[in-house]
Amino acid sequence: MPSYFSFLCCGNSPDWREGWRFGTWRIFSLKELHAATNSFNYDNKLGEGGFGSVYWGQLWDGSQIAVKRLKVWSNKAEMEFAVEVEILGRVRHKNLLCLRGYCAEGEERLIVYDFMPNLSLLTHLHGHNSAVCLLDWSRRMSIAIGAAEGIAYLHHNATPRIIHRDIKASNVLLDSGFQAQVADFGFAKLIPEGATHVTTRVKGTLGYLAPEYAMFGKASKSCDVYSFGILLLELASGKKPFEKLSPTIKQSIADWALPLAREKRFEEMADPKLGGRYVEAELKRMIVVALVCAQGAPEKRPVMVEVVELLKGELKEKLSNLENDFISKPELGRNVRGFSLADGVSVANKSKGDAKLDADQISEVREKLR
Ligand SMILES: Nc1ncnc2c1ncn2[C@@H]1O[C@H](COP(=O)(O)OP(=O)(O)OP(=O)(O)O)[C@@H](O)[C@H]1O
Ligand SMILES: [Mg+2]
């Protein structure tokens, strides 16, 4: 068992990373990162995503790091890579994962982060930490608000403004106090246009994709809002973005949630692992906000600053109007403009030249919809 599991933190201890937050940003040598990660040993591997593998490591001063070793195709010129990582490194917010530096030597491109002792939301909701329910309701609520604040900062305050493009449970990390740290923002910029990573990323992230992103491949802030809505449903219910109803039928979490919400059956939607211990009004709020975010029409989705306010309960009137809309107006569903993910596939099929989905992705979408 890799030693990082022993650092899983349950308490509300002070944030041990504070010293780094506004502290030194630096270039790491490959030698140093080899030493820290035991030469990128398999036992140190935290996981693998669309961009490469992530390894746990420990520096000479005892501090723990997570090192993302990018795949070979991310072989951007050293200078260009350095400039873009430095831009991301300057983005600082309490709910955005802090970059500590990078390494660009020869073919290697690595990014160094603070290690998050409580790993990701994914491990708590569906992974090896899900058996013990460390995410009580108040933690879930503060993770939802914190993650929303981090994304709102990217959309509205960061210079340059950043569209995340890959919001999902494995990209919401948890610090020692279980505060949300959104990771991997702006990553798509590090990868050359048209690189094959798109297939991998769409594959891994399908349940979170806004229909118009699946159809035209055009990322926008409202695609992030959609993905965040799916994430909120996951956080409230403990369900996965797509669930297998039978060997051949899969259902998206939004399609599961919408009819229940319309019938006000919110208590049936709470994660059973909570054992009924949640604040009813907050659960309802989280679900209604989630469904408003994950609706089909991008122009009807709220912007992230509104999402923060809605989640905090600061826009009570607006929230109750939205809730009433759910009950009385069926068109508030996911496919408001008559578009659905299935249509996206057919659009992509018809106009292969313009469509951003390749054959693999289309069959993947089909597979998920089957
Ligand atoms: N700083 C970190 N501290 C702890 N765990 C981390 C850290 N960074 C990444 N991880 C975990 O390492 C694993 C691999 O991360 P990675 O970002 O490569 O893949 P991913 O999040 O599954 O997909 P994507 O490439 O789309 O982001 C994930 O489970 C992620 O939660
Ligand atoms: Mg990630």
Together in a domain, 110 and 133: no
Angstrom distance (rounded) from CA 299 to CA 296:
9
pLDDT at 74: 59
Together in a domain, 95 and 179: no
Out of 114, 146, 180, pick the residue that ends a domain. 114
Q: Which ligand lies nearest to the CA atom of residue 74 in the structure?
A: 1
Residue 204 CB less than 6 A away from ligand 1 = yes
3-class secondary structure per residue, 35-60: HHCCCCCHHHEEEECCCEEEEEEECC
Q: Which CATH number characterizes residue 266's domain?
A: 1.10.510.10
Q: Which of these, 323, 310, 296, lies nearest to 226 by C-alpha position?
A: 296
Burial (0-12, 13-18, 19+ Cβ within 10 Å), 199: middle
Mean pLDDT over 169-181 rounds to 97
pLDDT at 24: 73
Mean pLDDT over 97-121 rounds to 93
Together in a domain, 102 and 138: no
What percent of the chain shows pLDDT beyond 90? 51
8 Å CB contact between 21 and 130: no
DSSP track, 170-183: GGEEE-TT--EEE-
Average pLDDT, the chain: 80
pLDDT at 69: 94
Q: What's the pTM?
A: 0.84
Out of 93, 114, 135, pick the residue that ends a domain. 114
Q: Which of these, 88, 87, 51, lies nearest to 68 by C-alpha position?
A: 51
Together in a domain, 144 and 105: no
The pick from 46, 168, 179 for probing ligand 1's pocket by mutation, whose C-beta has the most ligand atoms within 8 angstroms, reads: 46
Together in a domain, 145 and 68: no
Q: Active-site residues: which are they?
A: 166
Angstrom distance (rounded) from CA 219 to CA 197:
15
8 Å CB contact between 38 and 113: no
329-347 residues labelled b (16+ CB within 10 A) or e (exposed): eeebbbbbeebbbebbbeb
> pLDDT, tens digit, for every residue of 51-79?
889 999 999 999 999 999 988 665 667 78
Together in a domain, 128 and 42: no
Together in a domain, 246 and 335: yes
Out of 80, 114, 148, pick the residue that ends a domain. 114
What percent of the chain shows pLDDT beyond 70? 75
Total number of residues shown for the chain: 370
Amino acid present at 316: K
Report the nearest-CA residue for atom 23 of ligand 1: 49
Residue 51 Cα to ligand 1 middle (Å) = 10
Residue 51 CB less than 6 A away from ligand 1 = yes
Residue 47 Cα to ligand 1 middle (Å) = 6
Which tokens sit at 64?
Answer: 């723990």
Residue 97 alpha carbon, nearest atom of ligand 1 = 1
Q: Binning pLDDT at 50, 70 and 90, where does residue 360 land?
A: low
For 5, 14, 38, 91, 339, the CA distances from 18, given in Å and listed in that order, are 22, 9, 26, 15, 45
Mean pLDDT over 134-151 rounds to 97
Q: Binning pLDDT at 50, 70 and 90, where does residue 326 land?
A: low
Least confident interval from 200-209, 269-278, 353-362 = 353-362
pLDDT at 103: 93
pLDDT at 292: 93
Together in a domain, 268 and 338: yes
Together in a domain, 13 and 91: yes
Q: Which CATH number characterizes residue 95's domain?
A: 3.30.200.20
Together in a domain, 78 and 162: no
Residue ranges making up the domain that contains 238: 121-369
Give the single-character DSSP code of 81: H
Together in a domain, 60 and 174: no
8 Å CB contact between 134 and 10: yes
Mean pLDDT over 97-126 rounds to 93
Together in a domain, 190 and 302: yes
Sheet holding 45-48, edge to edge: 26-27, 99-105, 108-114, 64-70, 52-58, 45-48
Give the single-character DSSP code of 269: G
94 marked among binding-site residues: no
Q: Binning pLDDT at 50, 70 and 90, where does residue 348 land?
A: very low
Amino acid present at 185: F
Neighbour count for residue 61 (Cβ, 10 Å): 5
Give the single-character DSSP code of 260: H
> pLDDT, tens digit, for every residue of 213-271?
887 777 889 999 999 999 999 999 999 998 888 888 888 999 999 999 999 999 999 99
8 Å CB contact between 301 and 232: no
Given a cut of 80, whether residue 171 has pLDDT beyond it is yes
Mean pLDDT over 341-359 rounds to 38
Residue 50 alpha carbon, nearest atom of ligand 1 = 25
Number of domains in the chain: 2
Terminal Cα-to-Cα distance of the chain (whole angstroms): 38
8 Å CB contact between 120 and 97: no
Q: Which ligand lies nearest to the CA atom of residue 122 in the structure?
A: 1
**244 vs 183, more confident:** 183
- Give the β-pairing of 180-182 and 172-174: antiparallel
Q: Which ligand lies nearest to the CA atom of residue 115 in the structure?
A: 1
Angstrom distance (rounded) from CA 144 to CA 63:
28
Mean pLDDT over 340-358 rounds to 38
Mean pLDDT over 339-346 rounds to 39
